[in-house]
Amino acid sequence: MANAAPKKNPSLLSAERLDRASPELWPEAIPGVSDFAALNTPDSSPPKWLSDLEKDDTEMIQEFASLTPSQLLEKIRSLQNLSYQLGLEEAHEMTRGKFLDILEKPNRRA
């Protein structure tokens, strides 16, 4: 009985036949899609955020896009390390400025 055909439930059967080739049946693929697609067609001009970038910025984006995932992770790690080092240097210089009394003190009005 391994090849027994499944029993069909007569209440789930439909006698309706749809001819999908008929233009009368489906005048538009999905109503409203044509109007929506016309609103979302890409323009030939670049997006606004891309036009605001300078040449160096676009070159950096292209450089990052050409990296493999492992190379990109390594680049991110090096940027994080650089950021950390800059933070330490800034804290050192702020402390130095405080001890040399070269930083402007806020006016305190009571």
The verdict on residue 46 lying in a domain is no
Return the pLDDT at 18: 66
For the record, the structure tokens of 7 come out as 């029993």
Domain tally, the chain: 1
The verdict on residue 110 lying in a domain is no
Return the pLDDT at 16: 73
Return the pLDDT at 21: 63
Going residue by residue through the chain, which has 110 residues, state the pLDDT in tens, using 9 for 90 and above.
556 666 777 777 777 776 666 555 555 566 666 666 666 666 667 677 777 888 899 899 999 999 999 999 999 999 999 999 999 999 999 999 888 888 777 776 65
Alpha-carbon span 88 to 95, nearest angstrom: 11
The verdict on residue 106 lying in a domain is no
The verdict on residue 8 lying in a domain is no
Secondary structure class of 54 (helix, strand, coil)? coil
Secondary structure class of 66 (helix, strand, coil)? helix
Return the CA Rg of the chain. 33
Domain that holds residue 74: 54-101
The verdict on residue 82 lying in a domain is yes
Note if the pTM is more than 0.85.
no
The verdict on residue 30 lying in a domain is no
